Chains A and B, each alone.
Chain A
Amino acid sequence: MNPEQLKQYFYDLVHPDLPNEWEVEEVMEPLLDLDPAVRSAVLEQVQVIWPVSNSLCYSYLHQAIPALACIKAETLGRWASEALEIYERSGLKDAQQFMINVQSHFACRMDGQGQRFKEIAGRMEPYLRGLARRDLRLESSKTVFTDTRTVFLPEELSLFQGEGKNFLLYKLTTSFQWAFIALDTFLVTAEPNEINPSAKGKLWLHEYLAATEFPSLLATLYFLFETVRARGFLERELPGLMRDSSRLFASLDKKSPCKSGVERIVSQTRNLISGQLTEDESIEDEQIRTLLHSKAVALDSLRLAEQISHQADEGWESIVQEEPLFFQGRMELTRVEAARMVLRREQEAGFVEALATFFLSLPTAGNDTTDEEAETEDGAKGVSEADAALLFEEQSSEGKKEESSKSPDFTRLENELELSEELQELAEEIKNDLGQVPDQYISAAMGKAGQAQAGMGTPESDDGSGSSAPVTYDEWDYRRAGFRRNWCVVTEKQLEPIQSNFIRDTLEQYKGLRIRLRRQFEMMQTRERFVRRQRDGDEIDLDALVESLADTAAGFPPSDRLFIRLKRDERDIAVMFLVDMSNSTRGWVGTAIKQSLILLSEAMETLGDRYGIYGFSGMRRLRCELFPIKGLDEPYNDEVRTRISSIAPREYTRMAPALRHIISIMKKVDAGVRLIITLSDGKPEDYDNYNGEYAIEDTRHALIEARMAGIHPFCITIDQHAHEYMPRYGEVNYIFINDVAKLPARIPEIYRVLTS
């Protein structure tokens, strides 16, 4: 190839883009001297990288030749794809850095020594959740730490030869981080003492440390002693792990030469943690060893740290600067604090919502009266607004009364109004955190309830192309235990088709899964069984024959059902999938839903069950929209595939009217088993104050309507808080999927289990 040809070749690769000529020349020139096979290997990646980032592609071309000094041409693809991953995660700079440091960041790992986070996360996350028995998450990060909700582990580990040990180190680290969470290492509160006499009330660790003379030294010592405690804890709780890990400990932390003073204590403590201090070997301060016992608490570590920090001399800065033990990681109190605030906000939102709903459920003259239909239906039911105001007034004056005497005690409120169990629990959690339920939570709830009492949305017309004649449906109002007649207007609309590679990419990405699903679904289809007592069949049913002879002998007319027949189970099933297209599905949730639909459809094709797909969204009760994606008897063809890939987030999640519309469709379908499976990512809600209890109850009622029509409803959700409301949909009628990435595998599986 001459320079001109090479340049042209590049232009062909990036067509229709027309990059600067001088830039192209600059990166192409060095490639001229390469062996043609190697050169084409280098250029092969251009098409992969260019569309994602032109700059990254240039960097790649710049770095390719130096990289080839330590990696083979065949590994260029893997190198490039890792660079892309980094680019997508942390941007151009990091990706470029990764490429420049090919030797240390990539090449050494290619000898098959390292272990990557990606490879262990699938196993370690459920492991962590099992240990903690709650929903902790695992994420990758530059350093090891936990904020008590997520455990952060490094992107890769290559400290040891061979995967076994690196994996074990991941596991040990995960377990230690869990120990810190279980032991409340980061959530300890301390009474103020002579170190910090000014403050009032209990202090969180970071507040406490901040007010001391040497916060970083104290923090380092405290965390070190907590790690002793964590080790003791793990020895009791996970003895197998600690036994397995002994071979790691030795190589992780080298015994340092004897020092003196606090430094000596620190190095001894580190040896104690990594199991290199034998039982009889002495330790400067024997109190450290007592931290291993089950009775030790976080405050013991703090007191000891204080005591020892007083003995500190000039050497203390080196103690603080020393790298923590690997599995110990760092103490990131600001992250802990941030996580605590997130939790607090979640609690507040949950509480305000629940309390607002509670206020709304009190007998009042409903908001409904603003609408004509409702007015006639509701009539004089309920209590006047003045009554409600009085109730609220009592409420707040009581709050004030108590404020003057003591801190307001929420139990009063609980007794007065008989709060629901859910609300009481939430209040309890908040009290644990804040000591009391803040007044503004209550006023926020009242405000919210008040807003909900204002009128519903105004009519809105939308006669976009391709919409069907609107149909109206009733909506269930649990407060009056009756329907709001003709409340919602449902329109079927056509999706705007979008051309993309989505289908192809999905099929490519899930090749293995697809094959597996196909096999599983084929097995369902060909499930055969012997049916006894048939009028005709391939074999004689001996039991039936004997019985009929006996019946004859006893003077009964003999049965003529004397044969066994091999019967292929007729799967007379019709199923409709109803997919949430609300705005909250934007991003990976929406993508996962679409991928799931494709994999499901592919699998369904082998099965022959009749199935349809509808998307739903909308805004306000007068504009509930349903998007037909696949009709029940429509073949799964390119049009359907295009519609699936055109699914895009739209507006709100008012699921009930969509359900009612699907029920009316399914009612007309003649099938042995009829199913509606919904796929959503959160609570039902709409713009016109359709939310909380009201929306949940309406949805629940729509599900009951389905069952009354002889249709089995089943809800699949990806909502973290599903457990707070889904059980009300009926325990066997829903499932919550935590891991969005698993969705494409899980949904076909659920369908399989549901219908076999």
Chain B
Amino acid sequence: MNSIPLDEHLIRREPYYHASGEEIPLAVAAWKAGMPLLLKGPTGCGKTRFMQYLAWKLARPLITVSCHDDLSTSDLVGRYLIRAGEAVWSDGPLTMAVRAGAICYLDEVVEARKDTTVVIHPLADDRRELPIEKLGELLIAPDSFMLAVSYNPGYQSILKDLKPSTRQRFIGLSFDYPAPEQEAEIVVQEGGVAAEIAHTLVKLALMTRSLKDSGLVEGASTRLLIQAGKLMIAGISSRTACTVAITAPLTDDPELTGAIDEMIFSLF
């Protein structure tokens, strides 16, 4: 079989990650114990970044799969391809990760259909195995392999809620937006803006996050703040940057749009 070195998936430079609690030692311990991870938290609060950091720290390649409802089992496990008239097997990302003892991260796992996610069940429990029917092979994951999935438990379609039988195999890590000071620092680091602007952006984020009862499904995420910051660095005025990078992605409701824009005009 092909054992492509997973060099390209190895993270060589330490990613910038600002820990907000015990998540790093916990995840390392889970990895040592061969247990899979379940990251939950709102979008853009650092789950993906955390996985990158973890992969770097453990010196394991990181293979990320963004899940969507068209994802099939072969997309994960692998399939035969025809090359020069011959059938050649090609590993899918999950198989690749198992063989290489890498970390496989299924982002937004609830987006995938249930019949797709069943393949991870035997990998997630203490069997740690991946059957590949077409090859007639049963892969046993090496100790260094880790499975991680993420999902956003917020306001989302219950039709996509995670099945308990899937959930119960995982170690859960809850992510939330960082504390204001930390978040501002992240925005400085990632968005490149001055500390003062970062603080103002975080203030704006906090304001929007308190609008859940007024009908806003989710407040501004760290990612949105960083994007607004980057636009400012690129020379866009702060008000415009915030309107396009924060208000617009958050809501279409005219009154909430108005309210958030007024917050922006007040702050900047």
Interfacial residues, chain A to chain B (CB-CB below 8 A): 122-127, 129-135, 171, 175, 237-241, 244, 532-533, 546-547, 549-554, 556, 673, 675, 712, 714, 731-733, 735-739, 742, 746, 753-756
Contacts and interface: CB of A to CB of B under 8 A. Distances in A.
A201 to B, nearest CB: 34
B260 A240 contact: no
B167 to A, nearest CB: 13
A125 B259 CA distance: 8
B91 to A, nearest CB: 14
Interface in B144-196: 153-159, 161
14 contacts: A125-B214, A127-B263, A134-B210, A171-B262, A240-B264, A240-B268, A241-B266, A547-B74, A550-B79, A553-B82, A553-B87, A732-B153, A732-B154, A753-B157
A746 B255 CA distance: 13
Interface residues of B, number: 45
Interface string B64-92: 00000010101000011110011111000
B265 A244 contact: yes
A125 B203 CA distance: 18
Nearest to B135: A554
A554 B87 contact: yes
B267 A714 contact: no
Given A127-B262, A550-B79, A746-B215, 18 more contacts: A124-B262, A126-B255, A129-B210, A131-B207, A131-B266, A237-B203, A239-B267, A546-B81, A547-B80, A547-B81, A553-B80, A553-B87, A554-B80, A554-B89, A673-B159, A732-B156, A732-B161, A738-B213
Contacts of B259: 123-127, 130
B79, B213, B216, B268 — most chain A CB neighbours (10 Å): B213
A549 B155 contact: no
Interface string B206-222: 11101101111100000
Nearest to A553: B87
Contacts, number: 127
A131 to B, nearest CB: 6
A756 B210 contact: no
A532 B267 contact: no
A551 B134 contact: yes
Interface in B7-52: none
B239 interface: yes
Interface of B: 70, 72, 74, 79-82, 85-89, 134, 153-159, 161, 203, 206-208, 210-211, 213-217, 239, 255-256, 258-260, 262-268
Contacts of B268: 239-240
Contacts of B265: 240-241, 244
A749 to B, nearest CB: 9
B233 to A, nearest CB: 19
B213 A240 contact: no
Contacts of A754: 157-159
Contacts of A755: 157, 159
A175 B159 contact: no
B153 A556 contact: no
A175 B207 CA distance: 14
A551 B214 contact: no
B157, B159, B256, B262 — most chain A CB neighbours (10 Å): B262
A735 B266 contact: no
Majority secondary structure of chain A interface residues (helix, strand, loop or mixed) = helix
Nearest to B70: A532
B82, B155, B161 — most chain A CB neighbours (10 Å): B82
Contacts of B217: 753
B266 A175 contact: yes
B155 A551 contact: no
Given A712-B158, A732-B153, A735-B155, A550 B214 contact: no
B264 to A, nearest CB: 8
Given A124-B259, A241-B266, A550 B81 contact: yes
A129 B262 CA distance: 12
B182 to A, nearest CB: 18
A638 B267 CA distance: 52
Contacts of B89: 554
Task: List the 3 closest pairs (A to B, CB-CB), nearest first.
Answer: A550-B80, A130-B207, A553-B87
Contacts of A553: 80, 82, 85-87
A546 B74 CA distance: 13
Contact of B266 (A238, A546, A552, A714): A238
Contacts of B258: 122-123, 127
A756 B157 contact: yes
Contacts of A735: 155
A126 B214 CA distance: 6
Contacts of A171: 262, 266
Contacts of A129: 210-211, 213-214
Contacts of A125: 214, 259
B267 A238 contact: yes
A714 B260 CA distance: 29
B88 A550 contact: yes
A8 B268 CA distance: 64
Contacts of A240: 239, 264-268
A132 B203 CA distance: 11
B87 A133 contact: no
A560 B96 CA distance: 27
Nearest to A555: B87
A695 to B, nearest CB: 23
Nearest to B158: A712
Nearest to B267: A240
Contacts of A532: 70, 72
Given A126-B259, A241-B265, A550-B81, A732 B207 contact: no
B211 A130 contact: yes
A753 B134 CA distance: 39
A429 to B, nearest CB: 19
B255 A122 contact: yes
A348 to B, nearest CB: 24
B214 A738 contact: yes
Nearest to A733: B158
A746 B214 CA distance: 11
A500 to B, nearest CB: 29
Nearest to A134: B210
Nearest to A746: B215
B263 A130 contact: yes
